[in-house]
A and B are shown apart, each in its own frame.
Chain A
């Protein structure tokens, strides 16, 4: 049996009979008996789901007319369209279930195609180079608007998603205050370049502020993570959530230092390099910043890829799988968790620093908890623990709302964004927890966890103290 074969047999297939080493109950006969009502129930949830979508995309209501939004979207012709779509969805799902095994094999065949076709190294590097060339050339033909989106909305978020991927994907920890480190990076950039009201001992240009911004974010990560990561995993989630909020409150309240909600008075200088005779200064144009970001993203990709396939990456996988076994195999669980957390934090700080020097201006209202959730959605959508997933997920999901805004087909409004993202999170968790482009390890783990083997995250209670 080949590797991919083994993985396929343990996929989280909805009700597929457990195979191989996984012994299960004889579910199938039970299923057959219930088939009639099961189908009906599925139809109902499909139609209901689509009706919720109808409300999501429908008109807005108000406090004085709280039902107008609902009536406007449900007692209207468009509701029929959505009900029809519900039936279509149901038909698709039913067909998929009927021919489930074949459909799954087909989709596996498609998704593993690149891996089968590109077996040798040279071809793989060739493809990487082609993708890189595309990433270099394509933005040149874009309009000013899209170039700006590419830098502000996509490039920065790809970087952020790559960092959070280490925390959530590799180490299986949930960080909900990720943007706090971004804020720390941005504010340290502002501080070291002398833009804040409080002046640093020596004013640096943004290039030399990079290591300091990274260090500040990393330190914050260690200080926050070291006590919390000893405990059960969900405490980390809530502590980071609180931390994200606190950083914003502190930035707002320390008027004298940060400038509060109106931001520092002076401008953060643009990024510039003056090293070894090379002098270059980034300006207002987006394209140079895009290339700068692209360069950093490529470096981060290479570095994280090596990390994933190293002693450190395997230790993370081991911890995710079984903390107790990992400990007894000599892995210092706490150390590796803090490591993942601080690598994520420093990537976020780095992104914040870059962003601050690009826009030249920051204020405390920019670093909301919502942004942390946004980055989380990007990682989960792409596929936890998968580098291509993080990049593609971030790029697609950040590009799509802007696309909708330019082509107002569905009446999409930016303020509704988090309705869709919230729904997306639930739907992903129910139907495709491994994400769009899953990492092979993660996919296997989730499949195994659903058969009761392993945990697939680092959320369990550490240690067995009496």
Chain B
């Protein structure tokens, strides 16, 4: 343990943590939404994330090629990448619900069956991606040249962090509005509260569930692209961030959308503080420790469970 490494890098770690935290929040929303309507953990959400990364890579690779864009073009490219990632994520999530969830739902299969088929889907998807897109990590061509824009107490905030923060905040606000205001949002909350009654009241459950998957997939896919911008894209990229995003969802209270946002940011920061204290190789161990700790002490999370009541 190295306390001075931590105190010296406090602001650096905080900035880094918030950047990670925004990504975790985006992914965690997917878990929380699906959990809200189905009371199930979507184990294949990691692959939704991964597909976003690949879509962003292919699009930017085709558009940018070897040029080094700047200015307004950069903004356009980032938006394009996010849109591409989101579309891919949404598409994969949609297919996932159709293939791995809906047939089981039709048969009132036991919960265990859903978890198992989701795990199957996850393994199928990421290994398939490895087969079709190659098994080596590739780098997304940079849509902008990242450098420090300003600094917070000596901690540089780079363009990349700003891009993450701005796009994540935009998407989170958008999502919050959707769930609070739109017809879909009402449907989601109704199904989360009581699916049976909702269906009696004329809510098309199948459609709501499907759209919920897509909604979560859009954010997850976008997060995949943003993540891939920095670390590159590889078929196994989904596993660890998704596990952490799940931790974030539990930390904030699974099924609770604002909880997922809060949990994501908190986890990102705490994890990076932990990495500063114990060394970066123990990063994942820190967030796993947080998961177990939350489950032990407050399994309902910080803001409590249930989508319908508190979001």
Contact = CB atoms under 8 A, between A and B. Distances in A.
B1 to A, nearest CB: 14
A239 B292 contact: yes
A245 interface: yes
Contact of B120 (A70, A239, A425): A425
Contacts of A12: 107
Interface stretch (A54-62, A126-134, A327-335): A54-62
A121 to B, nearest CB: 34
Interface residues on A, range: 35 or more
Contacts of B103: 430
Contact of B116 (A64, A425, A445): A425
B284 A249 contact: yes
Contact of A245 (B54, B122, B284): B284
Task: Output the residue of B107, B119, B125, B132 with the most chain A CB within 10 A.
Answer: B132
B92 to A, nearest CB: 14
A443 B122 CA distance: 26
B79 interface: no
B134 A62 contact: yes
B123 A373 contact: yes
- A interface SS class: helix
A228 interface: yes
B127 A234 contact: no
B177 interface: no
B184 interface: no
Interface in B104-133: 104, 107-117, 119-125, 127-128, 130-133
Classify the interface of chain B: helix, strand, loop or mixed.
helix
B123 A422 contact: yes
A174 B119 CA distance: 11
Interface string A412-446: 00011011011111101110010000000000011
Contacts of A424: 120
A455 B110 contact: yes
A425 B295 contact: no
A326 interface: no
Nearest to A253: B281
Contacts of A360: none
Contacts of B292: 227-228, 239, 242
In order of increasing CB-CB distance, the 5 nearest A-B pairs are: A425-B120, A422-B124, A422-B123, A459-B111, A457-B112
Interface of A: 12, 55-56, 60-64, 66, 69-70, 168, 172, 174, 176, 227-228, 230-231, 233-235, 237-239, 241-243, 245-246, 249-250, 252-253, 369-370, 373, 376, 380, 415-416, 418-419, 421-426, 428-430, 433, 445-446, 449-452, 455-457, 459-460
16 contacts: A61-B131, A69-B131, A70-B132, A176-B119, A239-B291, A239-B292, A241-B243, A380-B116, A415-B131, A421-B123, A422-B122, A423-B124, A429-B117, A430-B117, A449-B108, A452-B108
